[in-house]
């Protein structure tokens, strides 16, 4: 029997998770919610997805006949992926999912304490097995966790300092941008470091962050003190072998976030998405005196990197125990090697 999945919150993340679920052989997309009428609802209708209303909507006024309300979606689904804006997922757990004893995943806008379990598939899949409520960490935290987990396994991480250079807004967002400024996060550390520790519990990490006038991707610069000596060629191999990490090269003219997104479009990726974390080969370095300090730079496609994590988390929460197998099954439909 396929796992029946409902999507609550059909925006940037929700619509991508819906498509990814619809493509999995072991899952069935029950439907998606519409909070108000928009082009997203039109696209969902064209794709043949069932549409369930949440709250008062203007769907009928716009010629869409909904397939039911939120309670119908909850009745039909085994598990909900909630991709609503910050704090709404937390409220929905209390108001909608707990009363129906419904399993639910929330996203990185929610706090760790909302679920007590935060998830990145290759780092801590087992923590989510058979759980009722799990949070997928934010795009930035997912990016840091994927590469630091690989480095920690290979060399042992003593401590990390990372700086997040964040896009000002998503490409379709007219409410948070454009900005004509470089805006530092004026808190130390930024929230990303403590957030990484909700997944990589033993990694000592300090983070700083700033936003820049771009919409395409984030960039991280990472400095890690290692327990063992490293050499650049070996580190390249470690990243090449890590799940959902792609080593990109200036030599192939992938010098910037703009070219990475163009590359994703040319690969024929749905919506031009790049869910892998892209580490620049030429920007991996180790200090020459000790070989114990590693530096690297990576790019994060904020709209898509958490999407495969949602798919794996569904399997874990529904009792599928093989993390590696789940990651492979998910990667196959995304075309991730």
Q: Which residues make up the interface to ligand NAD (CB under 6 A)?
A: 8-14, 33, 35-36, 40, 54, 83-86, 88, 107-109, 138-139, 170, 302-303, 306
How near is the Cβ of 288 to ligand NAD at its closest, in Å? Answer: 37
- Shorter beta-carbon distance to ligand NAD: residue 86 or 321: 86
How near is the Cβ of 123 to ligand NAD at its closest, in Å? Answer: 16
Q: Sign of the C-alpha dihedral, residues 277, 280, 281, 284? A: negative
Give the Cα-Cα-Cα angle 34, 38, 39 (nearest 5 degrees). Answer: 115
Residues classed as catalytic: 139
Q: Which residues contact 238 (CB under 8 A, 6 or more apart)?
A: 150, 151, 154
Instruction: Quote the crossing angle between the two packed helices 139-155 and 232-241, to the nearest 10°.
Output: 120
How near is the Cβ of 142 to ligand NAD at its closest, in Å? Answer: 8
Classify burial at 191, counting beta carbons within 10 Å of its beta carbon; exposed 0-12, middle 13-18, buried 19 or more: middle
User: DSSP string covering 262-316, please?
Assistant: HHHHHTT-GGG---SEEEEGGG-EE-TTTS-EEEEEEEE-TTTTTHHHHHHHHHH
Which residue, among 270, 304, 282, has the nearest Cα to 167 in the 3D structure? Answer: 304
Position with the least CB separation from ligand NAD: 11
Structure tokens at 176: 């948070």
How near is the Cβ of 272 to ligand NAD at its closest, in Å? Answer: 15
How near is the Cβ of 139 to ligand NAD at its closest, in Å? Answer: 4
- Shorter beta-carbon distance to ligand NAD: residue 109 or 194: 109
Q: Which residues contact 287 (CB under 8 A, 6 or more apart)?
A: 293, 295
Give the Cα-Cα-Cα angle 246, 251, 257 (nearest 5 degrees). Answer: 55
How near is the Cβ of 80 to ligand NAD at its closest, in Å? Answer: 11
- Shorter beta-carbon distance to ligand NAD: residue 33 or 207: 33
- Shorter beta-carbon distance to ligand NAD: residue 88 or 122: 88
- Shorter beta-carbon distance to ligand NAD: residue 138 or 281: 138
User: CA-CA distance, 19 to 47, in Å (whole number)?
Assistant: 9
- Shorter beta-carbon distance to ligand NAD: residue 10 or 280: 10
Q: Could you report how far apart the first and last alpha carbons of the chain are, in Å? A: 28
């Amino acid at each position: 029997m396929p796992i029946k999945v409902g999507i609550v919150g059909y925006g940037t993340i929700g619509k991508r998770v819906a498509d990814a679920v619809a493509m999995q052989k072991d899952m069935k997309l029950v439907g998606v919610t519409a909070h108000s009428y928009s082009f997203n609802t039109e696209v969902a209708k064209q794709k043949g997805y069932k549409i369930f209303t949440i709250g008062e909507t203007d769907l009928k006024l716009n010629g869409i006949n909904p397939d039911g309300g939120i309670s119908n979606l909850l009745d039909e689904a085994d598990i909900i992926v909630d991709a609503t804006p910050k704090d709404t997922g937390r409220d929905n757990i209390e108001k909608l999912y707990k009363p129906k004893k419904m399993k639910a995943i929330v996203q990185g806008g929610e706090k760790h304490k909302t679920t007590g379990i935060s998830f990145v598939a290759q780092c801590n899949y087992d923590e989510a097995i058979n759980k009722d409520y799990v949070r997928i960490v934010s795009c930035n935290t997912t990016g840091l966790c994927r590469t630091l987990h690989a480095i920690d396994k290979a060399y042992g991480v003593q401590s990390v300092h990372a700086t997040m250079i964040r896009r000002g807004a998503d490409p379709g967002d007219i409410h948070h941008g454009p900005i004509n400024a470089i805006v530092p996060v004026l808190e130390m550390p930024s929230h990303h470091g403590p957030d990484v520790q909700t997944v990589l519990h033993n990694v000592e990490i300090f983070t700083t962050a700033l936003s820049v006038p771009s919409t395409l991707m984030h960039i991280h610069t990472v400095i890690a003190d290692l327990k063992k000596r490293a050499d650049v060629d070996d580190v390249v191999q470690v990243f090449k072998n890590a799940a959902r990490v792609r080593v990109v090269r200036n030599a192939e003219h992938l010098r910037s976030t703009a070219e990475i997104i163009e590359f994703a479009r040319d690969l024929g990726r749905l919506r031009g998405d790049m869910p892998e974390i892209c580490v620049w080969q030429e920007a991996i370095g180790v200090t020459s005196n000790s070989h114990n300090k590693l530096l690297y730079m990576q790019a994060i496609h904020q709209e898509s990197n958490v999407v495969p994590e949602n798919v794996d988390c569904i399997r874990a929460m529904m009792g599928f125990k093989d993390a590696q197998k789940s990651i492979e099954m998910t990667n196959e439909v995304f075309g991730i090697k």
